[in-house]
């Protein structure tokens, strides 16, 4: 077996990308490796702002090439917004540290409202800023309202007595990454003279302006998660990106594009931690035997590895649907909250499983694992917020399970194309009307894999629940009840795309079977939780108990997957 299923910096050469993309990805890896592990970990412990990283970004024009749409590229063939290579870059950033991923991530969010706008001057300013090595920020959330786009206390007052200004803006923003250095901050606010959604405004501000008051970093770490205040900030016509409902839609559509990177960041973190964990545990002797001789340790490693590969498979397949999206095919709107909530939550599980094995080692300051364990939970909790995304996922459940449609087959999208649709997503309404291709066909095509067949029984049972004992009116307002239902549905969607990508990537049957071993266990766990809900009806309780399944046990299969895990012992260690 080769180590190709996990990202390995020592052998990584993405031949499916164009030459300049390959060069940049390899150059980034070499930059991190040449700095070494000691410097990487010390900078994290000492909360060093990554100036040297941003110098590398500037020198190589890394963000400019990866984040500038083709129509603003000035004829440079290496500049485009290509979700496939962006995902690869995001995984590398996560592998080396969340601070590097975060500077990239919030730059993407800051660019969203700009690239979606009709303001050509602002777009050209952003393209120039990227070319000069600058970063951006996304000024949406507030201390009192979080990311609630319906409520904002950033107020824009018409500048009636100044012909050079449209508004003056005053208000606070909170949890704004890159807010300390961003040359352009996309700020969401509302007019004081217009009521309701018609009063929303997205505009750009500059962190260097005297009316922009940086109030500090609200966290301790390399990431600068700022809070800032605007005091009568002058907003010119050329600073305005969106007004009215379009501003509201730009906020949501930016999240659709920008926060997809949560999944690949989580994957990168988990991969680095996995390498450290297997090498440590496999070479540590307790009671005269390697730690990995213990059955529960092998169980944890096989579960962690299976979950990690599943994260990669789902996320890779999601890219294809993102890149192939159109106004007639908006399936990505389901797969996006899945990557934000499900994949990142799985990253937490992977780290927890590994931490149970390496125990005290995972707290030591000379390990990447310490950083991973500290920060892995930020992705589902702060950037994604699982309960919000699971609530969104539920909107798609009836049509997904019960009302499929025909679509042209979506192939693997690794072509060097500009993903222009991201900036023309259209209205944010109508999620419940979106249809999906028939998930049952994919499960049936893999029915020869024992645990896939058994999980398909559970997925089919969920469809029966919706037709025989669906949530009543009260339960549809009971988020506690709905969250478990949403988790059950998420597992069906998760397995669907995992199987699609497994077929594309040629993943071996043993590993697929092992992945659906945990899928069955997870589904059974949520079914038990649903059974225990105080609002569950007798019919729903009966359904829940009937949906519980035990995975098909195969000791030989488990041993073969363990052999794959064992092969990663010593496969990668960051240069000291």
| 349 pLDDT above the threshold of 90 | yes
Cβ atoms 454, 516 nearer than 8 A: yes
Question: What is the β-pairing status of strands 240-243 and 184-191?
Answer: unpaired
Cβ atoms 186, 137 nearer than 8 A: yes
Unique residue bearing structure tokens 């990253």 = 347
Q: What is the DSSP string of 113-127?
A: HHHTSS-HHHHHHHH
* pLDDT grade for 568, boundaries at 50, 70 and 90: very high
Return mean pLDDT, the chain.
96
Q: What's residue 384's pLDDT?
A: 60
Average pLDDT over residues 279-285: 96
The per-residue pLDDT for range 432-442, each reduced to its tens digit, is: 999 999 999 99
Q: Report the percent of the chain where pLDDT is more than 90.
A: 93
The residue that leads in pLDDT, 382 or 199, is: 199
Q: What's residue 427's pLDDT?
A: 85
Cβ atoms 412, 506 nearer than 8 A: no
φ and ψ at residue 189, rounded to 5 degrees: -150, -170
**What is the residue extent of each domain of the chain?**
19-135, 137-244, 259-406+430-566
* pLDDT grade for 426, boundaries at 50, 70 and 90: confident
Residues 322 and 336: their CA atoms lie apart, in Å, by 8
| 381 pLDDT above the threshold of 90 | no
Residues 375 and 378: their CA atoms lie apart, in Å, by 5
Buried b or exposed e, range 273-299, using 16+ CB within 10 angstroms: bbbbbbbbbbeeeeeeeebbeeeebbe
Q: Report the percent of the chain where pLDDT is more than 70.
A: 99
The residue that leads in pLDDT, 382 or 259, is: 259
Residues 49 and 55: their CA atoms lie apart, in Å, by 12
Task: Give the architecture-level CATH label for domain 19-135.
Answer: Orthogonal Bundle (1.10)
Q: Cβ atoms within 10 A of the Cβ of 556, count? A: 7
The per-residue pLDDT for range 8-43, each reduced to its tens digit, is: 999 999 999 999 999 999 999 999 999 999 999 999
The yes-or-no answer to whether 19-135 and 137-244 have a common fold is no
Question: What is the β-pairing status of strands 155-158 and 184-191?
Answer: parallel
The per-residue pLDDT for range 58-75, each reduced to its tens digit, is: 999 999 999 999 999 999
With respect to CATH, is domain 137-244 assigned 3.30.70.330? no
Q: What's residue 382's pLDDT?
A: 76
Cβ atoms 255, 306 nearer than 8 A: no
How far CA 131 is from CA of 50, 61, 68, 139, in Å, comes to 19, 6, 9, 22
Question: Could you tell me which residues come within 8 angstroms of residue 73 by beta carbon, excluding any fewer than 6 positions away?
Answer: 79, 80, 127
Q: What's residue 1's pLDDT?
A: 36
Angle (CA) 439 445 449, round 5°: 110
Q: Cβ atoms within 10 A of the Cβ of 484, count? A: 21
Average pLDDT over residues 395-419: 97
* pLDDT grade for 194, boundaries at 50, 70 and 90: very high
Cα Dmax for the chain: 83
**394 token code pair:** 């539920």
With respect to CATH, is domain 259-406+430-566 assigned 3.40.50.720? no
Cβ atoms 298, 503 nearer than 8 A: no
Q: Which residues pair with 138 in a beta bridge?
A: 186
The per-residue pLDDT for range 81-137, each reduced to its tens digit, is: 999 999 999 999 999 999 999 999 999 999 999 999 999 999 999 999 999 999 999
Q: What's residue 285's pLDDT?
A: 92
Q: What's residue 180's pLDDT?
A: 97
Q: How many helices (H) and strands (E) does the chain have?
A: 22, 10
Q: What's residue 383's pLDDT?
A: 61
Cβ atoms 480, 533 nearer than 8 A: yes
Q: What's residue 2's pLDDT?
A: 43
Q: Which residues pair with 213 in a beta bridge?
A: 229
Cβ atoms 250, 116 nearer than 8 A: yes
| 145 pLDDT above the threshold of 90 | no
């Amino acid at each position: 077996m080769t180590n190709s299923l996990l990202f390995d910096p020592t052998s990584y050469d993405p031949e499916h990308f164009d030459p300049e993309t390959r060069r940049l990805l390899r150059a980034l890896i070499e930059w991190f490796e040449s700095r070494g592990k000691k410097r990487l970990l010390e900078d994290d412990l000492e909360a060093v702002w990554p100036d040297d990283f941003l110098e590398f970004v500037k020198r190589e024009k890394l963000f400019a090439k990866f984040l500038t749409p083709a129509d603003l590229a000035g004829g440079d063939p290496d500049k485009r917004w290509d979700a496939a290579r962006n995902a690869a870059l995001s995984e590398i950033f996560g592998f080396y540290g969340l601070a590097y991923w975060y500077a990239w991530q919030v730059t993407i969010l800051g660019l969203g409202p700009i690239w979606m706008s009709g303001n050509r001057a602002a777009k050209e300013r952003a393209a120039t800023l990227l070319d000069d090595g600058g970063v951006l920020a996304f000024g949406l959330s507030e201390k009192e309202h979080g990311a609630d786009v319906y409520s904002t206390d950033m107020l824009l007052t018409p500048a009636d007595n100044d012909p050079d200004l449209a508004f003056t803006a005053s208000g606070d923003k909170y949890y704004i990454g890159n807010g300390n250095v961003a040359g352009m901050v996309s700020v969401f606010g509302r007019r004081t003279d217009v009521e309701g959604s018609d009063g929303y405004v997205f505009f750009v501000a500059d962190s260097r302006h005297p009316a922009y008051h940086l109030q500090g970093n609200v966290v301790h770490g390399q990431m600068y998660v700022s809070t800032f205040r605007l005091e009568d900030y002058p907003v010119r016509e050329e600073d305005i990106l969106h007004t009215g409902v379009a501003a509201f839609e730009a906020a949501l559509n930016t999240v659709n594009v920008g926060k997809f990177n949560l999944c690949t960041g989580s994957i990168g973190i988990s991969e680095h931690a996995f390498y450290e964990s297997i090498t440590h545990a496999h070479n540590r002797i307790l009671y005269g035997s390697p730690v990995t001789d213990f059955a529960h340790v092998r169980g944890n490693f096989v579960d962690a590895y299976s979950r990690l590969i599943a994260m990669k498979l789902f996320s890779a397949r999601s890219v294809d649907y993102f890149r192939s999206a159109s106004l007639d095919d908006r399936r990505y709107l389901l797969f996006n909250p899945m990557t934000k909530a499900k994949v990142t939550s799985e990253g937490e599980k992977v780290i927890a499983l590994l931490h149970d094995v390496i125990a005290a080692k995972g707290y030591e300051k000379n390990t990447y694992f310490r950083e991973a364990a500290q920060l892995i939970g930020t992705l589902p909790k702060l950037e994604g917020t699982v309960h919000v995304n699971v609530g969104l996922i539920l909107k798609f459940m009836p049509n997904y399970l019960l009302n499929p449609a025909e679509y042209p087959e979506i192939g693997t999208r690794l072509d060097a194309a500009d993903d222009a649709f991201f900036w023309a997503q259209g209205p944010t309404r109508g999620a419940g009307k979106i249809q999906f291709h028939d998930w049952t066909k994919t499960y049936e095509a893999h029915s020869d894999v024992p645990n896939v067949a058994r999980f398909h029984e559970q997925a089919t049972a969920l469809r029966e629940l919706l037709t025989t004992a669906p949530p009543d009116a009260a339960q549809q307002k009971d988020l506690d009840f709905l969250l478990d239902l949403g988790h059950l549905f998420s597992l069906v969607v998760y397995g669907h795309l995992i199987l699609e990508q497994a077929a594309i990537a040629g993943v071996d049957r043993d590993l697929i079977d092992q992945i659906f071993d945990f899928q069955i266990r997870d589904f059974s766990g949520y079914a038990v939780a649903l059974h225990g809900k105080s609002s569950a009806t007798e019919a729903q309780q009966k359904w829940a108990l009937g949906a519980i399944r035990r995975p098909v046990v195969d000791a030989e299969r488990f041993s073969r997957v363990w052999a794959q895990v064992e092969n990663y012992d010593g496969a990668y260690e960051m240069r000291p």
